[in-house]
Amino acid sequence: MNATRAEDGPRRTGEPLRRISAAFERAGSEGRAAFVPYLTAGDPDSESTVALARCLDRAGADILELGVPFSDPIADGPVLQRAAVRALASGTTVDSVFEIARRIRRETSLALVLFTYLNPLLHYGFRRAARDARAAGFDGVLVTDLPPEEAPDYRPHLASAGLDTIFLVSPTSTLARMKAAARLSTGFLYVVSRSGITGARDALPAGLAETVRRARRCAPALPLAIGFGISTPDAAARAAALADGVVVGSALVGAAEEARRERQPAEEAVARLAGALASACRRDPGAKKLRA
């Protein structure tokens, strides 16, 4: 797919690219929530990651979260932990992630979010990481273990590089924490559907609508994307009725993992699931997204 769009033209250093906001605007104008899949970069190698990104682009994804593999992924469930182990075993580094992103940027129209823990960026050098992430084609950064209280030390480097900043809120977030996360976020606000680690679940939690209402009150002008535990088209459809974006990670990574175990093409397995999830993000024309 041709990756060139109007918002992809030359920009001055520090000026946001707007691919993320454009993706949400485009999805909203088409009566759907944005579909935001996640892949662990380098799982099990660079070529496979790029191939799956192309597959997701064709299946209808809007934004790709590309994860930096980390040896101590405290927020990740077993599926993503195994993906990180495979990626690290193949020699994936932060530099490798940036090279993978460059290829995905050239070969797809996906907006790209760097999904990472803080430690790899600190080891790489935060200012350098921000600059190199922008040069590699990333549009935003989500640091899973960077709380809003510590963000003033790091966020200026991301903003000066022209990268959107994305923060997490959860069912246990206080009103003050939600307001702080909303104030610091520019690409979208990530609403964690449940407390705990990532991983596919059979159903969304009963209190999710209230969590979204609280987040919407704190960030009335910012897109909200729901993630953690969404694994089926039914769950994606329910999340799409509540928010502007639907994030799916473990289910897609797990589908690729299982296909490889069975010696089947991972791209075909991911394409089937991604296509169903993307279709589920299309809202009933008579339904309205939940608003506070």
DSSP structure string for the chain? -----GGGS---TT----HHHHHHHHHHHTTBPEEEEEEETTSS-HHHHHHHHHHHHHHT--EEEEEPP-S--TT--HHHHHHHHHHHHTT--HHHHHHHHHHHHHH---EEEEEE-HHHHHHH-HHHHHHHHHHHT--EEEETT--GGGGGGTHHHHHHTT-EEEEEE-TT--HHHHHHHHHH-SS-EEEESSSS-----SS--TTHHHHHHHHHHH-TTS-EEEESS--SHHHHHHHHTTSSEEEE-HHHHHHHHHHHHTT--HHHHHHHHHHHHHHHTBPPTT------
Amino acid letter, 68: V
Q: Are 197 and 240 in contact (CB under 8 A)?
A: no
CB 144 within 8 A of CB 115: yes
Domain boundaries, the chain: 18-280
Which pLDDT value is given to residue 4? 37
Do the bridges between strand 164-169 and strand 34-40 make them parallel or antiparallel, or are there none, so unpaired?
Answer: unpaired
Please report, to the nearest 10 degrees, the dihedral formed by the alpha carbons of residues 231, 33, 270, 138 taken in order. Answer: -110
Residue in this structure with the two tokens 């910012």, named with its chain if needed: 222
Q: Which CATH architecture has domain 18-280?
A: Alpha-Beta Barrel (3.20)
**Tens digits of pLDDT across the chain (292 residues):** 434 343 443 344 444 458 999 999 999 999 999 999 999 999 999 999 999 999 999 999 999 999 999 998 887 889 999 999 999 999 999 999 999 999 999 999 999 999 999 999 999 999 999 999 999 999 999 999 999 999 999 999 999 999 999 999 999 999 999 999 999 999 999 999 865 545 445 667 778 999 999 999 999 999 999 999 899 999 999 999 999 999 999 999 999 999 999 999 999 999 999 999 999 999 876 554 444 3
**Under a CB-based contact definition with an 8 Å cutoff, are residues 25 and 5 in contact?**
no
What type of residue sits at position 179?
Answer: K
Q: What is the pTM of this model?
A: 0.90
Residues with a catalytic annotation lie at: 65, 76
